[in-house]
Amino acid sequence: MHDIPNDVNISPMNTPARKCAIVAVMKKRIITLGGLPGSGKSTVKRMIAEKLGYTMLSTGDFVRDMAHARNLTLEEFNDLIIHDKTLDEEIDSRLIKIEGDGDRYVVDSHLAFHFIPSGFAVLLTVSLETSAERIFNDSSSPSRIKSGDTMKTLDEARERTARRIKNHVDRYKLHYGVDPYHPESYNFVINTEQYDPEEVARRVVEAYKAWLAPEAV
Minimum mean pLDDT among 29-43, 95-109, 138-152: which range? 138-152
Query: Which residues, 6 or more positions from 151, have their beta carbon under 8 angstroms from its beta carbon?
Result: 135, 136, 139, 157, 160
Taking the C-alpha atoms of residue 17 and residue 12, their distance in angstroms, rounded to an integer, is: 12
Is residue 2's pLDDT more than 80? no
Rounded to 5, what percent of the chain is helix, strand, coil?
55, 10, 35
Is residue 24's pLDDT more than 70? no
What kind of fold does domain 16-208 have according to CATH? Rossmann fold (3.40.50)
Is residue 6's pLDDT more than 80? no
Q: Structure pTM?
A: 0.78
Task: Give the pLDDT confidence score for residue 4 in this predicted structure.
Answer: 44
Task: Establish how many alpha carbons lie within 13 A of residue 89's alpha carbon, considering only the half-sphere containing its beta carbon.
Answer: 5
* Domain limits, the chain: 16-208
